[in-house]
Structure 1
Amino acid sequence: MPVAQEESVAPASRARSKPGSKPGPRPRVGRDFVAALARAIAEGRFAEGSTLPREQDLCAEFSISRTVVREALKTLESKGVVRSRARAGTLVRARADWNLLDADLLDWMGDTVVDAAFLSAVLEARRAVEPFAAELAAERATLTDIAALNAAWETMRASERGHDAAFTAADAEFHRILLRASGNLVFAQLSAVIDAALTRALDRSNSSVASHLEAVAVHGRLVEALRMRDGKAARAASEQMLDTAARDLKRLVRDRQG
């Protein structure tokens, strides 16, 4: 499948500099190319284990400079997608080596990597962490934490009949706050690491249902459990959220297959 050429860069970035001034930067060129190359790899144009075309060939194909190509390859190498080998070119690494929690990769590769297997893996990770984090939060959350969690829940409730993007943004914020409210430093760090993946998983789950009333209700029960310092109820509410997410994932997969 053809990859977007440099010609897709916004015309404003091609404007000529005024006489006597230095040429201005074209910031989108490099970012557009690395995104296009990442998509091409994810879609299988450049298969795992294969060697990418030579720099000069990529320059010719996409009408870009060697500097742009080299920076793009460095970016993808830092994210585990490719590996440069002396005198042997650039190798496409196995998908298992890609940093699929990276927000840039998820943006560039989209549905190619955010598939059923990825969503299932995110759900399994949440099952391992969130119920215990909720139980800890019932004991450790500050009044400020609970107020922030309630504010996120109120936004979810206000967005329930609105746009899915607004609801998902509030839903993701709710889960960020919950992990931080656990008082566990590792969970708090994990929140930042998985944030992009969690947001995309919530987006897929939320977009698969016609109504968010059930989600709003169970999130509200978790907030109330924290107010009451009821760890058992907090864990139960978290587990119900995850059971609902699993059901929605099954529906999503079934609908895509059908």
Structure 2
Amino acid sequence: MSLDGLPHHRGGAEALARLLARALLAGRWQPGDAFPRELDLCTHFAVSRNQVRNALASLTATGLIERTAGRGSRVREVSEWHLLDPLISDWMTGIESLDPKLVREIFAFRYSAEPVLARLAAQAAEEADLERLEAAFHGMTRTAASPEARNQHVEYDVAFHDAIYRASHNLVWRQMGHLLRPSIIALIQGSQAQVHRFHDGLDDSLTRHGRVLEAIRRHAPDAAERAAREVLRRTAIDLGIVTDTHPVIASATEPES
């Protein structure tokens, strides 16, 4: 497989693993594809075979590729990738775009999990939690109308969802939120790229987030769960996973019943 277009490599095996992993996560190579040979990687990046082998060992350990003696390496199915491994979480940080199949898998998890989290937050949120949610929402509102503040808007959006994870007051969910943060950022960046093209999209997104905040503030679990699901429904529309003609999203990976 061609390595043309990949950025220059500087650093050791960890940096090379990060470069190759980010290309995989962005969809440069698809599941089942042959992965570049050790010798080709050595030549292209002008590095030692030992450095290449150490980098490939990291990709293998995180489930991204499978290596077979005498047959080289192949990209594994997305279902085999260890998406909650801290290494993959680190590799996702700052990535501009993810493979569409990976986007759908991450979204499917969020659509299943975050409405439940909003319900927990409505039940357990304390004053400090509400202050974090309100600060994030006000930041989203303040930066929504300015294309120049798009990065700030994304940061506030991520902070809003992070505050919901924290407000659940469940240690495991909070840790999950930390590990998923880079993938959540990637999804929000993708949806915001579409939302910022249309002012009505921004207004709609803010309205939906505001309903989540209000339901949590009122300690109304049912309303919080419904409102969080509607936020994610808007995200699915912006990402092109469904169209706005769908009344409900049952799953990103299974047809509606």
TM-score by length of 2: 0.75
1:125 corresponds to: 109
In structure 2, give the amino acid aligned to 1:95: E
SS in 2 for 1:3: coil
What's the C-alpha RMSD, in Å, of the aligned pairs? 3.2
CA distance in 1, matches of 2:67, 2:213: 49
* Structure 2: unaligned runs, 5 residues or longer: 245-257
CA distance in 1, matches of 2:213, 2:21: 44
Question: Residues 113-134 of structure 1: CA distance to partner in whole angstroms, max 9, x if unpaired?
Answer: 431x333322221221111211
1:3 corresponds to: 4
2:154 corresponds to: 168
SS in 1 for 2:73: strand
CA distance in 2, matches of 1:37, 1:118: 13
Is 1:231 aligned with 2:217?
Answer: no
Match among 130, 141, 144 for residue 146 of structure 1: 130
Match among 69, 73, 85 for residue 91 of structure 1: 73
C-alpha distance 176-69 of structure 1, shift in aligned 2 (>3 A): same
1:180 corresponds to: 166
Q: % of aligned pairs identical?
A: 24
CA distance in 2, matches of 1:207, 1:252: 16
Is the CA contact (8 Å cut-off) linking 2:143 and 2:153 kept in structure 1? yes
C-alpha distance 240-109 of structure 1, shift in aligned 2 (>3 A): closer
1:63 corresponds to: 46
CA distance in 2, matches of 1:3, 1:195: 30
Is the CA contact (8 Å cut-off) linking 1:127 and 1:242 kept in structure 2? yes
Question: Residues 190-220 of structure 1: CA distance to partner in whole angstroms, max 9, x if unpaired?
Answer: 2123222111111111111223222222222
CA distance in 2, matches of 1:33, 1:199: 21
CA distance in 2, matches of 1:144, 1:137: 12
- Comparing both structures, which one devotes a greater share of its residues to helix? 1
CA distance in 2, matches of 1:242, 1:74: 36
Is the CA contact (8 Å cut-off) linking 1:205 and 1:252 kept in structure 2? no
In structure 2, give the amino acid aligned to 1:180: R
Matches within 5 A, 1:206-217: 206-209=192-195, 210-211=198-199, 212-217=202-207
CA distance in 2, matches of 1:154, 1:38: 33
Aligned residues: 232
Larger radius of gyration: 1
